[in-house]
Chains A and B, each alone.
Chain A
Amino acid sequence: MVSVSITVNGKVHRAEIEDRTLLVYFLRDTLRLTGTHIGCDTSQCGACVVLLNGRAVKSCTMFAAQADGAEIVTIEGLGKADALHPVQEAFREHHGLQCGFCTPGMIMTAVDMIRRKPQLDRTTIREELEGNLCRCTGYQNIVSAIEAAAKQMAEPGA
């Protein structure tokens, strides 16, 4: 067993967990934050993406012990149902989801992408989405949502 202290969505969580606990299981099973999804489980699909110290990473491909002392943001920490994050709002507005399974990972990836590259064109968005798979949308509306969110977030006062 290993002791970890991980800040998730602004709140410090201390826990004794098995060494082999993957971060995604810590989030879903220990903290019951089930917005972070497990899709492929082979580091390809990106449904499990969370922000680790601000960087969008795959929580199925790291152990919770590696995140000891780190700050994690999951989809639950991004916005509230009555006050969505601009990226969440843009996905809603542009119909950037159908079944919704990939959406939490898409949104966390988009947040990191927009932080690094505020000027995003559609080609760049598609390249940056290489690690996030969607089986429904054909990506068109996901790309439109991210493009719109980036524009909106770049506006003064946004």
Chain B
Amino acid sequence: MIPYPFTYHRAKSLADAQAMLAREPDAKLLAGGHTLIPAMKLRLANPAALIDISGLAELSFVRESGEQIAIGAATTHFDVMTSDIVRARIPALADLVEEIGDPAVRYMGTIGGSIANNDPAADYPAAVLGLGGTVQTTQGAIAADDFFTGMFSTALEEGEIITEIRFPIPRRAAYAKFANPASRYAMVAVFIAEFGKNIRVAVTGAAPCVFRAQEMETALAKDFRPQALAAISISPDGLNSDIHGSAEYRAHLVPVMARRAVAAALARRP
């Protein structure tokens, strides 16, 4: 399959990419390309130009500063998953990244690309929302709670480029994913992070956009054990329904995966 013609540019720096994007508003940024290129091959996407920001050293890093980890937007899944800092400080994040795609995809795909795309069944949005991360862009900082605005949509403005994502380090956290057996995308997956009395529960795959399950957060703040979720059910209203599973099925899966995530978080030493 061959995409429509376009012009390829390789950015030499973030500033260079910004200038190119300003000159060519119909251009798209190319990071790992593992969503964009398949879409272009199917001719579902037809950008006039691509600005390649993969391999920009200034966008590819994992750094620890105080009680946060900062990950550059063009850092590949492989580099996050194998980062000693991530494995030591937020092992649940490394676990989540290991669930994305397959080894070849993880060599190319990037964190910035994943969250900018905001696929309803993607893994990374659950970590960014579940940990209460901050998305730093060329225009400013966006809290995770404000970033994911709907199916395939985010708070990013035209020409705005994600530069890094900052994650607060939780006492403990875990990700429990029920993967579609064919695509390995999340049917439902839940990321739970415990920051002492502050609990965050993020659900991906179930709805058109990642969301927080606040009733579960309140219950887990009182009692951080799987049993605390026993009485909580999720309404199927507004959840995804497709050939892989009905909204009722997904609604049932949310507390199941949440309980598994709590059990997995408890199995870690805080």
Contact = CB atoms under 8 A, between A and B. Distances in A.
A39 interface: no
A46 B78 CA distance: 17
A121 to B, nearest CB: 16
Contacts of B6: 19-20
A42 B38 contact: yes
A19 B107 contact: no
A47 to B, nearest CB: 11
Interface stretch (A60-68, A75-83, A90-98, A149-157): A60-68
Nearest to A18: B5
Given A19-B7, A20-B4, A66-B54, A56 B37 contact: no
B8 interface: yes
Nearest to A38: B1
Interface residues of B, number: 27
The interface centre, meaning the residue of A61, A63, A131 with most chain B CB atoms within 10 A of its CB, is A61
Contacts of B41: 22, 41-42, 60
B245 to A, nearest CB: 20
Contact of A46 (B8, B38, B104): B104
**SS class, residues of chain A in contact with chain B:** mixed
Interface in A6-50: 18-20, 22, 25, 41-43, 46, 49
Contacts of A52: 107
Contacts of B33: 61-63, 66
8 contacts: A2-B8, A41-B1, A43-B105, A58-B105, A61-B108, A63-B8, A63-B50, A66-B10
Given A18-B5, A43-B34, A57-B108, 20 more contacts: A19-B7, A20-B2, A20-B3, A43-B105, A46-B102, A56-B103, A56-B104, A56-B107, A61-B34, A61-B38, A61-B108, A62-B37, A65-B52, A66-B30, A66-B54, A68-B10, A109-B103, A128-B103, A130-B103, A130-B184
Interface of B: 1-8, 10, 30, 33-34, 37-38, 41, 50, 52, 54, 78, 101-105, 107-108, 184
Interface of A: 2, 18-20, 22, 25, 41-43, 46, 49, 52, 55-58, 60-63, 65-66, 68, 109, 112-113, 128, 130-132
